[in-house]
Amino acid sequence: MKHVCTIGIGSNINPEENIENALKILREGNDVVAVSAFIKTAPEGIPDQPDFLNGAAKVVTDKDMNAIKDYLKEVEDRLKRDRSVEKYGPRSIDLDIVVWDGEIIDQDYYQRDFLKKVVDEIAWISSQ
């Protein structure tokens, strides 16, 4: 069964390179049908760090939700995501499912304007 999901993508450590590499890896095992523009945002929680670059990708996959969550963690690990830093600390890459089969599953969509903007930008693009 095919699933359509929108993945939030963010980085503030070599963001252009890490986001490009994340998209390349995502394209290896899935059909990336759309990529939003990327928005520079100030860090939340820990202000003394570089700004983030945030966007989203719309992906068609054969994986179920749990498998795609595991897969996204593997992609983060490949791109050297340091999970020992504080929750709002710097990161090489952050990948989160925001929309799954048309349903918003990440509440950050409602709380972070930049996330809503990038997700909405690609929401209308057909996955067929």
Burial-class residue 124 by CB neighbours within 10 Å (0-12, 13-18, 19+): exposed
Which amino acid appears at position 102 of this protein?
G
Residues annotated as catalytic are 81, 91, 94, 96
- Cα angle 16-56-25, degrees, rounded to a multiple of 5: 60
Gap between the Cα atoms of 37 and 77, Å rounded = 24
User: Phi and psi at residue 108, in whole multiples of 5°?
Assistant: -60, -25
Q: Per this entry, what is the length of the chain?
A: 128
